[in-house]
C-alpha cells in the first residue's frame, strides 16, 4: 500500500489547497441597528481554523468591551453580562491557526438598542435556592438579567437581613464572594435586585435561601500535568493527568471545544483518580479543560480552565503560507444506489482515487460491520451502507490514515415498462407525456437511446412529427421504447398543416378513415374575412396553402365541407410555416 511521507513543516506538494477565507457575520450583520443588548453574535465557519479569537470595542480597533478572547471552535459568542445600550460596537474576528498564530480577518460594527425599561428579575444559580449542606466558603452566583447594568445584593441570617453583607452594588460581575466564611449550619438569606438607569426590577422574589453545612475546609484547585496549559500537537487519544490535591476526595472534570460548552466531558465525577483517557478528539482544534477537586466541604472555588491543541492530522488546516491543506481523499460516491431486482449480482465501484477502500453495512445507528475491502463491492441487498476511502501517510511520529466516507442507501430498481403515451395538440406544436410502470429511477429521451436524457416524462413545444421515446433506469437496470405518431385530425379534418416542403403535412385535406369510405363531396376553404381560397374534391391532393399561386400567410383558415347527403360540417384549422 502506498504511503506518503510528510515533511516536518507540513508543506505538501500536490495536495488540495485553497486560499484562506474570512468568516461572514450572520447576526448582527455589518451596520445593523437596534440590536438587543443580550444578543448572541454568530458568524459563518471557516474550514481549517483551529479556533476563533474575538475582540469587542467602541472603536474599530478597540477591545475595552472584550479583550482578545478565544471562543474555541464555536462560531457564536454571548456576552455574559450583555452589551452596553445605544452604542456602536466593533467586533474583530481573528482566525487562530497553529502554523500562523492569530490572523486578523474580519471587523464589522453594529449598534445596540436604547433600553427604556427597568430589567427583569434574576435567579440565584449557586448555591441553588433551598440547597442544604452548602460549604461555608461558597460564592454566590446569579443569572444575567437582560438590560441590567448592576445588581443590589444583601446577605443575612434573617429574611431581608444584611448582617453578613450590607447591601452592595455589584457591576461587571455575576457573583459575590462574602468577605468571610459564612456561619456553619445556618440558613442564609440572599436578596438580588437587578437595576439599570431606568430603575430596579420589581415584583421579584423577596429572598433566596440556602443552609450551610458543618464547618470544613474546601480543597484547592488542581494543577494540570498533561497536557500543559497551551501545549500543542497533543495526540487525538491523550491521557489527561493532574496533580493530586491534599484533602480532596475526588475530582469533577469538564472538557469542551469552547469555554462555554462541555461537549467532550460534562462535569464528570472521576472520584479519586488523577487521570482520564480520552477516546478520540478531533485534530487541529483547541480544547478547554476544567478540573475541580471536591471533598465533604464542597467543591474548590474559582478553578479556571486550561487549554491545549491537538495535532494537525488529516486537516483541513492552514499551512504557513495561508493555504488550506486537506489530506483526506475526495469522495463523490452517490447518496443512493439502485440494485437491479433481476440481477444475480449488483456491483458498485469506488469513483475516486485513494490508497484503499472499505465497505460497511449499517445494522443500526452507531453499529456497523465491515463487509469488503477494495474498489469493488457486491451489494448484498437493500439497506444502508457506508463507503470509505483512505490514504496513508508516514510522519516522524508514525504512520497514520486519513479517511473520507459517504453513507448511501441501496434501493431496489427494475427495468421500466411504457404503459401509455399521451399527445396534446397546441398551436402548430405538440406535447408528449410518457406513462411508465416499474420500481426504479427513470429518465427520458427522444430520438436516440443515447440521449440526451431528462428527468421529466413530458416533452413540450415539439414540431408536428412522429417520435420514438426512450425510458431507461438510472441504475442501468433496463430500457424501454415506444413510437408515438400523433393523430392530427378530429373527425377526419386536420387541425394543422405545415406547407414548408419537408414532405410532412404539406397539404390540408380530409383524412379518409381506415374503412376507405369517403363521405365528403366537396370542401370549401375561406380566410377569416370569408374570401373563398380553394375548393377540394374527394380525389384532390389537398390545399397547398396558396391562392392564385402565391403562399398565404400563417393564420387560422376556415372550411365548409358538404357530404354526399347534403350535410354541412364547418370548422377551422391552422396554417403554420
pLDDT at 514: 66
The predicted-structure confidence for 135-149, as pLDDT tens digits, reads as follows 998 999 999 999 999
pLDDT of residue 462: 85
For residue 555, what pLDDT is reported? 92
Count CB-CB contacts under 10 A for residue 398.
7
Q: Which of 225, 226, 238 is nearest to 311 (CA)?
A: 238
Residue 109: the pLDDT is 97
Task: Assign domain 25-112 to a CATH class.
Answer: mainly beta
State residue 490's pLDDT score: 56
Q: Which three cell numbers stand for residue 191?
A: 436578596
Q: Would you state the CATH architecture of domain 224-310?
A: Sandwich (2.60)
Taking the CB of residue 399, how many other CB atoms lie within 10 A of it?
Answer: 9
Task: Give the Cα separation of 277 and 428 in Å (integer).
Answer: 77
CB 209 within 8 A of CB 236: no
DSSP codes joined into one string, 327-360: -SPP----SEEEEETT-S--EEE--S--SEEEEE
Domain ranges, ordered by start, for the chain: 25-112, 124-211, 224-310, 336-412, 417-484, 489-575
Confidence at residue 13, expressed as pLDDT on a 0 to 100 scale: 35
Q: How many other C-beta atoms lie within 10 A of the C-beta of residue 295?
A: 18
Could you check whether 25-112 and 489-575 share the same CATH topology?
Answer: yes
Homologous superfamily (CATH) of 124-211 is Immunoglobulins (2.60.40.10)
Cα 136 to Cα 98, 126, 213, 216: the distances in Å are 44, 13, 7, 8
Which residues of the chain fall short of a pLDDT of 70? Answer: 1-20, 396-397, 425-429, 464, 486-491, 514-515
Helix, strand, coil in percent for the chain, rounding step 5: 0, 50, 50
Nearest C-alpha neighbor of 333 from the set 429, 408, 226: 408
Q: For the domain bounded by 417-484, which CATH number is listed?
A: 2.60.40.10
Architecture per CATH, domain 489-575, reads as: Sandwich (2.60)
**Contact (Cβ atoms closer than 8 angstroms) between residue 249 and residue 272:** yes
Amino acid at each position: 500500500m502506498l504511503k506518503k511521507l510528510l515533511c516536518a513543516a507540513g508543506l505538501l506538494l500536490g495536495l488540495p489547497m485553497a486560499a484562506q477565507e474570512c468568516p461572514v457575520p450572520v447576526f448582527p450583520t455589518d451596520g445593523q441597528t437596534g440590536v438587543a443588548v443580550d444578543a448572541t453574535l454568530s458568524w459563518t465557519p471557516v474550514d481549517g481554523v483551529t479556533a476563533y479569537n474575538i475582540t469587542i470595542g467602541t472603536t474599530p480597533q478597540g477591545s475595552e468591551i472584550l479583550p482578545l478572547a478565544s471562543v474555541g471552535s464555536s462560531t457564536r459568542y454571548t456576552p455574559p453580562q450583555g452589551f452596553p445600550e445605544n452604542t456602536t460596537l466593533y467586533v474583530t474576528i481573528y482566525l487562530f491557526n497553529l502554523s500562523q498564530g492569530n490572523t486578523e480577518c474580519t471587523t464589522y460594527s453594529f449598534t445596540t438598542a436604547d433600553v427604556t425599561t427597568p430589567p427583569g428579575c434574576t435567579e440565584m444559580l449557586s448555591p441553588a435556592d433551598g440547597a442544604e449542606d452548602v460549604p461555608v466558603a461558597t460564592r454566590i452566583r446569579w443569572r444575567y438579567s437582560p438590560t441590567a447594568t448592576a445588581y443590589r445584593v444583601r446577605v443575612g441570617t434573617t429574611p431581608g437581613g444584611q448582617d453578613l453583607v450590607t447591601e452592595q452594588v455589584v457591576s461587571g460581575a455575576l457573583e459575590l464572594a462574602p468577605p468571610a466564611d459564612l456561619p456553619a449550619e445556618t440558613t442564609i438569606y440572599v436578596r438580588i435586585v437587578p437595576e439599570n438607569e431606568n430603575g430596579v426590577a420589581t415584583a421579584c422574589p423577596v429572598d433566596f435561601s440556602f443552609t450551610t453545612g458543618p464547618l470544613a475546609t474546601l480543597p484547592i484547585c488542581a494543577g494540570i500535568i498533561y497536557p500543559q496549559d497551551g501545549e500543542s500537537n497533543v495526540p487525538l487519544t491523550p491521557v489527561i493527568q493532574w496533580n493530586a490535591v491534599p484533602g480532596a476526595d475526588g475530582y469533577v472534570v469538564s472538557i469542551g471545544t469552547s469555554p462555554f460548552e462541555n461537549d467532550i466531558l460534562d462535569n464528570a465525577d472521576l472520584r479519586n483518580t488523577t487521570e482520564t483517557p480520552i477516546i478520540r478528539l478531533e485534530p487541529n482544534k483547541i480544547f478547554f479543560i476544567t478540573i475541580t477537586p471536591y471533598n465533604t466541604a464542597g467543591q474548590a472555588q474559582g478553578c479556571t480552565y486550561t487549554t491545549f491543541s491537538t495535532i494537525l492530522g488529516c486537516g483541513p488546516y492552514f499551512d504557513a503560507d495561508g493555504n488550506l491543506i486537506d489530506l483526506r481523499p475526495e469522495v463523490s460516491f452517490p447518496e443512493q444506489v439502485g440494485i437491479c431486482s433481476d440481477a444475480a449480482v449488483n456491483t458498485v465501484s469506488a469513483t475516486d482515487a485513494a490508497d484503499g477502500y472499505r465497505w460497511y453495512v449499517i445494522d443500526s445507528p452507531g453499529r456497523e460491520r465491515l463487509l469488503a475491502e477494495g474498489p469493488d463491492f457486491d451489494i448484498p441487498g437493500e439497506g444502508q451502507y457506508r463507503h470509505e476511502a483512505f490514504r496513508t501517510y508516514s510522519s516522524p511520529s508514525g504512520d497514520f490514515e486519513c479517511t473520507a466516507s459517504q453513507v448511501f442507501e441501496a434501493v431496489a430498481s427494475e427495468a421500466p415498462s411504457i404503459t401509455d403515451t399521451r399527445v396534446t395538440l397546441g398551436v402548430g406544436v405538440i406535447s408528449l407525456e410518457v406513462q411508465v410502470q416499474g420500481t426504479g429511477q427513470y429518465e427520458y429521451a427522444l430520438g436516440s437511446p443515447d440521449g440526451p436524457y431528462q428527468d421529466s416524462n413530458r416533452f413540450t413545444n415539439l414540431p408536428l412529427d412522429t417520435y420514438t421515446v426512450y425510458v431507461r433506469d438510472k441504475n442501468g437496470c433496463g430500457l424501454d421504447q415506444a413510437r408515438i405518431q400523433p393523430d392530427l385530425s378530429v373527425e377526419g379534418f386536420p387541425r394543422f398543416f405545415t406547407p414548408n416542403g419537408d414532405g410532412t403535412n404539406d397539404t390540408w385535406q380530409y383524412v379518409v378513415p381506415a374503412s376507405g369510405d369517403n363521405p365528403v363531396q366537396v370542401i370549401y376553404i375561406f380566410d377569416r374575412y370569408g374570401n373563398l381560397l380553394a375548393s377540394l374534391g374527394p380525389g384532390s391532393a389537398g390545399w397547398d396553402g396558396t391562392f392564385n399561386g402565391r403562399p398565404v400567410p400563417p393564420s387560422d383558415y376556415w372550411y365548409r365541407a358538404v357530404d354526399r347527403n347534403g350535410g354541412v360540417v364547418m370548422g377551422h384549422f391552422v396554417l403554420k410555416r
